[in-house]
Amino acid sequence: MAERDAEIGFKKETVSKLLSSFFKEDKTRRKCTYPTDCLMMHLLICCLIFPEAAVRSQKQAESEDCDQVDIEHFEKILPQLLLDF
């Protein structure tokens, strides 16, 4: 179970490719290097934000006494989440 939990997370290569695909200029795309420590930090942030979003949505659903987490719950927590990260 613990092994299965440890597996859940973003892959380093995926985040790296995703970020480099968003670089607009070819010059930047060619020259820019993305060091490992930077990447690890971004990965860490990614791994923090999304479980946090899930937990906050859960709590919102719990406070409204719903059995399922709906989009309305996520919409309610989204502004504060984006301000926090």
Partner 1 sequence: MSVDKEEAHQRLKAAVHYTVSRICQKMGEDYRREFSRQVIAAIAETAVRQCDIFAKDLEAFARQQIECLICLYLFQSIYIQNKSEELNQEQRDLKKKSTGKRKSRDTEEEESRQ
- Interface residues toward partner 1, by CB under 8 A: 5, 8-11, 14-15, 17-25, 27-28, 31-35, 37-38, 41-42, 45-46, 49-51, 53-55, 57-58, 61-62, 66-71, 73-75, 78, 82, 85
31, exposed or middle or buried, with CB in 10 Å at 0-12, 13-18, 19+? Answer: exposed
Min dist CB 30 to partner 1, Å, is: 9
For partner 1, the closer of residues 3 and 22 by Cβ is: 22
**Which 3 state secondary structure label does DSSP give 65?**
coil
